[in-house]
Structure 1
């Protein structure tokens, strides 16, 4: 749930409501003001703002202010020219549709990147590096998206799989080795099935990486670390889950790349050696035709540290 939504759904006293109305109607102009200056704007005492912060679940006004500014900044960035729910309309031709979907995907990646925080990403990387096996859980569409990540991780020598059999998730959660890591994917963060899985994983002390929307939700609050996906689409009144799918793919690609980058040379050598043995594809195109493997390694030696 967004802070704006919490403000609208929480019961406040009349003096507190004056502050809330001021904050909701002024997305700019108050961010650089002190607590006393804001209180003066609505003819109340600074302690009123502190009470509001605590009612909304924050330790004090400073914490609420920082979180609310971050939320406003996110919601007013990136998606100025394309509607995530209806990126094209019935009058658009094929090239216009192609252009708008291209713009939407570029905006989605920029949007998701803006939500990444170093410490959370670093924690997720360490959980994956320490894990002997990785398991992904999500809804039907999310499990399909996750298959490519599982394939790349497994080829890297990190056994990774996606829970795909309906009704088997609980058994899989209970049977995961203690040295595992789980990734739970939910746009709302309130999927009851995934929250049950989360409880099992926590009981077994298996670290959980959550991929979910911005704002407060149970999955984000209870997981060991959280990576936020772009949060622009409604649940079902939309043409398709374009931004959600792109955001999930991007985050999973980032996680894979972070794991790969930890032992870059070793991982590349492994991928190259195995691919030489199992990939028999050929091409007449000079652009995609493979070079001599030793030439590739020599080129890497010129810029990858030992």
Structure 2
């Protein structure tokens, strides 16, 4: 139902999904204060989804919460397993966590924005991914997938290389920023330069992570259930980010699907020179 929503309305929808259990008790003023979205914008959002107003949304949320759900076992994304858990419980709980992160990210997706971002990246002469820490693994995985279809992606590491890449980039490139919180220190200095050089920016992070909408062309939301500090590791945010990047790659691949199939077919013998199995 989000195809015709604005980015602000999509973020509001994501907030409602992630905080469904609190919605029946909220007033429209409280929701406005929590989301920093005006009451009139909230009302327009409700109308777009076919409700008479926010009160009808509250009723629908209460009904949704009252319905029994299959496989509704709750998982703590920050501490998914306990001290005495052996291999099987750890594996089972992580499987549940990954499933939850992927399902939640799917619900957060604005598919119009995803397709527009994919087309933008497909048209670009080059893609530069700006990120750090564990998200660099996701960036390099995307880089490998794109290389397999003959597309070069740059993943500059470290503050110096990132800033030098921004200065050297031309307007025919696209900047892809991966940051779960949107608060990473490397983001703020590079955005004004990218904007000044008219380089489109795609930001991927949890809903509400777009703190610089004046500089971001497309903001794509992923599951935002993970705590930034109080957690074992980035289990949920990592799998959510990986899922979004794989979706983007799939969309890019399908834009020129036959051309990409031909490239893979022609390159396989050169790339894989192992003796064929008997």
TM-score interval, smaller chain: 0.7 to 0.9
Aligned equivalent of 1:58: 38
Asked if the contact 1:189–1:220 (Cα under 8 Å) also holds between the matched residues in 2, the reply is no
Distance of 1:208 and 1:79 partners within structure 2: 37
Cα distance, 1:221–1:105 mapped onto 2, change above 3 Å: farther
> What does 1:132-211 correspond to in 2, within 5 Å?
132-211=125-204
Distance of 1:263 and 1:198 partners within structure 2: 30
Aligned equivalent of 1:247: 240
Cα distance, 1:221–1:86 mapped onto 2, change above 3 Å: farther
Partner SS for 1:181: strand
Cα distance, 1:81–1:221 mapped onto 2, change above 3 Å: farther
Shift of 1:116: 0.7
Q: Which runs of 5+ in 1 are unaligned?
A: 4-23, 31-37, 40-48, 290-306
Q: CA RMSD in A?
A: 3.5
Distance of 2:246 and 2:127 partners within structure 1: 15
Higher relative contact order (CA 8 A, sep 6+): 2
The one-character-per-residue Cα deviations of 1:54-92 (angstroms, maximum 9, x if unpaired) are x9342615047689969x97xx89985110001000111
Asked if the contact 1:131–1:181 (Cα under 8 Å) also holds between the matched residues in 2, the reply is yes
Aligned equivalent of 1:119: 112
Aligned equivalent of 2:254: 261
Distance of 2:173 and 2:39 partners within structure 1: 34
Distance of 2:256 and 2:25 partners within structure 1: 47
In the superposition, the TM-score normalised over structure 1's length comes to 0.70
Asked if the contact 1:190–1:219 (Cα under 8 Å) also holds between the matched residues in 2, the reply is no
Aligned equivalent of 1:84: 77
Cα distance, 1:282–1:106 mapped onto 2, change above 3 Å: farther
Partner SS for 2:24: coil
Aligned length, in residue pairs: 247
Partner SS for 1:136: strand
Distance of 2:21 and 2:263 partners within structure 1: 57
Cα distance, 1:275–1:26 mapped onto 2, change above 3 Å: closer
Q: Which runs of 5+ in 2 are unaligned?
A: 1-10, 13-19
Cα distance, 1:103–1:282 mapped onto 2, change above 3 Å: farther
Shift of 1:221: 5.9
Partner SS for 1:135: strand
Distance of 2:104 and 2:271 partners within structure 1: 38
Shift of 1:157: 2.0
Distance of 1:179 and 1:192 partners within structure 2: 25
The one-character-per-residue Cα deviations of 1:75-118 (angstroms, maximum 9, x if unpaired) are x8998511000100011111110111111111111111111112
Distance of 1:224 and 1:99 partners within structure 2: 39
In the superposition, the TM-score normalised over structure 2's length comes to 0.77
Larger Cα Rg: Structure 1 or Structure 2?
1
Cα distance, 1:234–1:26 mapped onto 2, change above 3 Å: closer
Distance of 1:108 and 1:87 partners within structure 2: 12
Matching of residue 109 in structure 1 with residue 90 in structure 2: no
